[in-house]
Amino acid sequence: MLIQPRPVDSTTSAHERVYRALRTQIMHGELAPGAALTLRGIGKTYGVSMTPAREAVRRLVAEGALFLSSSGRVSTPALTNERIEELATLRAMLEPELASRALPRAHFALIDRLEAINQGVSQMVARQDATGYIRMNLEFHRMLYLRAQAPAMLAMTETVWLQLGPTMRALYGRLNRKEPPYHHKLILSALKAGDEPGLRLAIRTDVTQGLRMLKG
């Protein structure tokens, strides 16, 4: 008996493509806080109908990456001080734990890869490329956290990153960086030394210090 291939649902594949593209844009700070989006505009940008655009937006609203007002207006979140503090606290809880779990598997090949990514962060700083900086910075952290082998915890962390994406763009402008994050060097040193308390402290400081500068 031959198994017939399942038909491809073009609507599903279209909404998945739009969802992933928008999700990446938001996480990497390509959209400013409070930026308005329309289903018509999304559909035109990605060459899809209203249905997949609406489904992609629905998923992103559920993840906290987009905000849907009572009037139906869709926008990226403009975070309050309280919300920034809450998300910074989540990062301080989740990311040191992920790093700690990754430490036993942080072999020289991983550290070499992290150092190469950090060079990419330096290049983005030199170019004053805000979205490139955010993308490479998140890649640095994700590369380490993947070694934790804690997919549920990493998924929660990425949801926090997603909600913070536009705010991270605003933070980059505030910091006016001239060099890569100092705490990346401390993270790499702690990994090389197998220093778990030092690693936890470096991660916690790295992921919260800048965010808390936005408050006030």
Sign of CA dihedral 163, 165, 167, 171: positive
**The predicted structure's pLDDT at residue 3:** 45
**The predicted structure's pLDDT at residue 2:** 44
**Torsion, CA 168, CA 174, CA 179, CA 182, rounded to 10:** -70
**Which amino acid would we find at residue 108?**
F
**Contact yes or no for 98/145 (Cβ under 8 A):** yes
Which band of pLDDT confidence, cut at 50, 70 and 90, is reported for residue 103?
Answer: very high
**The predicted structure's pLDDT at residue 206:** 93
Which band of pLDDT confidence, cut at 50, 70 and 90, is reported for residue 143?
Answer: very high
Give bridge partners of residue 68 from the DSSP assignment: 74
CA distance 215 to 121: 25
Q: Which of 113, 193, 197 is nearest to 147 (CA)?
A: 113
**Contact yes or no for 167/84 (Cβ under 8 A):** yes
Question: 14-28 as b/e, with b when 16 or more CB fall inside 10 Å?
Answer: bbeebbeebbebbbb
Q: Would you call 1 helix, strand, or coil by DSSP?
A: coil
pLDDT of residue 6 exceeding 50: no
CA distance 34 to 32: 6
Going by their DSSP bridges, the two strands 36-37 and 67-68 should be labelled as unpaired
Q: Which of 146, 164, 162, 166 is nearest to 102 (CA)?
A: 146
Helix or strand (DSSP H, E) at 74? strand 74-75
Which band of pLDDT confidence, cut at 50, 70 and 90, is reported for residue 22?
Answer: very high
What mean pLDDT comes out for the span 3-20?
A: 67
Task: Give the model confidence (pLDDT) of 58-91 as tens digits.
Answer: 999 999 999 998 888 999 988 888 999 999 999 9
Tell me how crowded residue 32 is: count the other CB atoms within 10 A of its CB.
14
Q: What would the two tokens of residue 141 be?
A: 């952290």
**The predicted structure's pLDDT at residue 215:** 61
Rounded to the nearest integer, the mean pLDDT of the chain is 89
Which band of pLDDT confidence, cut at 50, 70 and 90, is reported for residue 5?
Answer: very low
**The predicted structure's pLDDT at residue 8:** 40
pLDDT of residue 187 exceeding 90: yes
**Contact yes or no for 216/81 (Cβ under 8 A):** yes
pTM flag (> 0.85): yes
Q: Which of 32-46, 62-76, 108-122, 200-214 has the lowest mean pLDDT?
A: 200-214
CA distance 56 to 79: 21
Output DSSP code: residue 3: P
pLDDT of residue 1 exceeding 50: no
